[in-house]
Amino acid sequence: MQTKPLTVLSLIPPMTQLNTPYPSTAYLTGFLRGRGVNAVQADVALGLVLRLFSPEGLDAVADEAQAMLDDGQALPETVHFFLNHFDRYRSSIGPVIRFLQGGDSTLAHRINSRNWLPEGMRFDALNNYAGHDGEDPLAWAFGSLGLQDKARHLATLYLNDLSDVIRDCIDPRFEFVRYAEQLAASQASFDPLAEALDAPNTLVDDVLVSLALEACDEHQPDLVLLSVPFPGAVYAALRIGQAIKAEFPDTRIALGGGYVNTELRELSEPRLFDFVDFVTLDAGERPVLCLIEHLQGQRGVSRLVRTFVRNDAGEVQYLQWPEPDVPFQDVGTPTWDGLPLDQYLSLLDMLNPMHRLWSDGRWNKLTVAHGCYWKKCSFCDVSLDYIARYENATATELVNRIEAIVAETGQTGFHFVDEAAPPKALRALAEELLRRGVSISWWGNIRFEKSFTPELCELLARSGCIAISGGLEVASDRLLALMKKGVSVEQVARVTRSFAQAGVLVHAYLMYGFPTQTVQDTVDALEYVRQLFEEGCIQSGYFHRFACTVHSPVGKNPQDYGVTLAPLAEGRFARNDIGFVDPTGTDHEAMGRALNKALYNYMHGVGLDQNVRQWFDVKVPKPTVARGFIAQALGLTTH
């Protein structure tokens, strides 16, 4: 008997990125089509923003805000400013969106005039600029010719103002990147999500639900895949699931993605299954193939792979039929077919040439290798599949995929989204790109290891590498050894300098609050970072506070790192981050304020010649690092 073909619809819930599609649906859709499945996809996150940030969307926002004022509710200044300048917002929103999508480039002249767009709170820093009379506060960043970039930055501030309005009068959970994140991040209890999902829809919810149901109307899917990479996409995913179950009761829904893989591994909360039917862990290819066979009547429920279900007794059951994963070499080529590639928004928040890559431009996302070839770092989830299972594909296969993607999308920019791309694989990829004459621009994440010699950095640059990012974490050899990072500060300096000299931008992931990190360690680390910026080794960075997870070596063996774990909260839902007690007693909150302030200035070329202690609002000791340490490590003349 011939099996009825199934339609599988993959959805990207809000919020992920606005400049390029989050890659999970493209990966799965490409893989499933390669297996003969009728697979389609839609980006609800982009759709939500485009529908809200339109003349009609702003009409709806203004109507709600005015109704709240008429009822005597007190509203923030952001909302009053929006209503007072509503006509200007309504007439400008359409052209601004088109400009950020890459159309109507001549609009930049009018945006840059500073008298067309209404300028709310997000423009305060520019309007309060203490320069000379008539001096352009953005001249240092864009000069006299950076017309398009300057306009993109101003347009981004304008959109951020409108985002603040939606947050302040429509939905307090709304943000461009994180939407209702606090409802799901490390929440042991499902209660906050359940209460939010039981509440009446907001305007944002109404738009979200409309988009999801329109996609289901169009494609009539048998199975909907909701890919949730971050806590900030969980609420929207479940709101979508709730709507689909109400309107399309025969459609089955599966939840997966990075958030699920890290936070829901011990799931026992049956209420989640009021919104979805299946929850799958780790790489999605094998579990989804098994789900399709199950829905086609070819596989019993007991033979599902890495899948949670709610059984007939109303209890959560984990099913793990022993079946191998699809090898990385065989996962096929991602496809963006069905996604509106010409409608994504290139935003420019941070005035830094490296930092902008995350929000500006539509990048084809591709993976060089699955997992991490190092998998030793103490802070990392080294026990989980996305790190532990290391597999790669041949350079020939990777370039085949690259050529197919360029042919489909017309875009030659690639972001390799590996945990850490292996130097050997990158060398082979670069040589294959050059041998075949394939011209692309690419960037990705690496470890700053000694294999990245000046010769290799030059080769990667010739193949199209424009930027790399990597973890320096805490710039302290003692703490780097405790982390099992496998690098030293001197080595990082030499590798980053080699990339910079090859014309490649460098971003450093930085960390504070690691177990046993003292105030002195923090001051010294900031001095190392200052010198790396000063010597041109790195152009961008980001400080994040260490979070201990139950899957990391620190979480599994806290005694090896001198800390004591706090008891985990009771609950049946998410379990990932875990508190700990560090006997050093360092005030990492105060340290973080200083580190982020200093880094922001360093990325703009400010304060590089000043003592690092000036950034702290508490008394700290002098750095023990010599001011010329990095220059000496590089064999340069000290300043």
CA–CA distance from 285 to each of 32, 34, 176, 256, 579 (Å)? 8, 11, 29, 11, 34
What pLDDT, on a 0 to 100 scale, did the predictor assign at position 238? 97
Average pLDDT over residues 110-139: 80
* DSSP secondary structure letter of residue 470: E
* Alpha helices in 225-265, H assignment, sequence order: 234-247, 258-263
Query: Does residue 385 contact residue 257 with C-beta atoms inside 8 Å?
Result: no
How many CA atoms, within 13 angstroms, populate the side-chain half-sphere of residue 433?
24
pLDDT per residue as tens digits for the range 44-67: 999 999 999 999 999 999 999 999
If you search the block for the tokens 């989204």, which residue do you land on?
Answer: 417
Query: Does residue 253 contact residue 276 with C-beta atoms inside 8 Å?
Result: yes
**Cα–Cα distance for residue pair 28/223, rounded to 1 Å:** 13
Contacts of 176 (CB under 8 A, 6+ apart): 15, 18, 49, 159, 160, 163
Query: Does residue 257 contact residue 229 with C-beta atoms inside 8 Å?
Result: yes
Kindly indicate the confidence band of residue 30, based on its pLDDT and cuts at 50, 70 and 90: very high
pLDDT per residue as tens digits for the range 141-177: 676 657 899 999 999 999 999 999 999 999 998 988 6
Indicate if the pLDDT at residue 180 is higher than 60. Answer: no
**Cα–Cα distance for residue pair 498/170, rounded to 1 Å:** 49
**Cα–Cα distance for residue pair 560/563, rounded to 1 Å:** 8
**Cα–Cα distance for residue pair 199/271, rounded to 1 Å:** 16
**Cα–Cα distance for residue pair 432/321, rounded to 1 Å:** 39
Q: pTM for this one?
A: 0.92
pLDDT per residue as tens digits for the range 461-506: 999 999 999 999 888 999 999 999 999 999 999 999 999 999 999 9
How many CA atoms, within 13 angstroms, populate the side-chain half-sphere of residue 548?
22
What pLDDT, on a 0 to 100 scale, did the predictor assign at position 569? 86
Classified as helix, coil or strand, 168 is helix
Indicate if the pLDDT at residue 179 is higher than 50. Answer: yes
- Count other C-beta atoms under 10 Å from residue 160's C-beta: 18
What pLDDT, on a 0 to 100 scale, did the predictor assign at position 338? 95
Kindly indicate the confidence band of residue 232, based on its pLDDT and cuts at 50, 70 and 90: confident
Query: Does residue 325 contact residue 283 with C-beta atoms inside 8 Å?
Result: yes
The three-state (H, E, C) secondary structure of 95-137, written as one string: HHHHHHCCCCCCHHHHHHCCCCCCCCHHHHHHHCCCCCCCCCC
What percent of the chain is helix, strand and coil (3-state, nearest 5)?
Answer: 45, 15, 40
- The residue type found at 310 is R
Q: What percent of the chain has pLDDT over 70?
A: 95
Query: Does residue 24 contact residue 228 with C-beta atoms inside 8 Å?
Result: no
Kindly indicate the confidence band of residue 320, based on its pLDDT and cuts at 50, 70 and 90: very high
What pLDDT, on a 0 to 100 scale, did the predictor assign at position 125? 81
Residue 477 phi/psi, 5° resolution?
-60, -35
pLDDT per residue as tens digits for the range 567-586: 988 899 999 889 999 999 99
Tokens of 130: 């203490």
Average pLDDT over residues 580-597: 92
Strand-by-strand arrangement of the 278-280 sheet: 38-43, 7-12, 223-227, 252-256, 278-280, 307-310, 316-319
CA–CA distance from 434 to each of 413, 446, 539 (Å)? 16, 21, 27
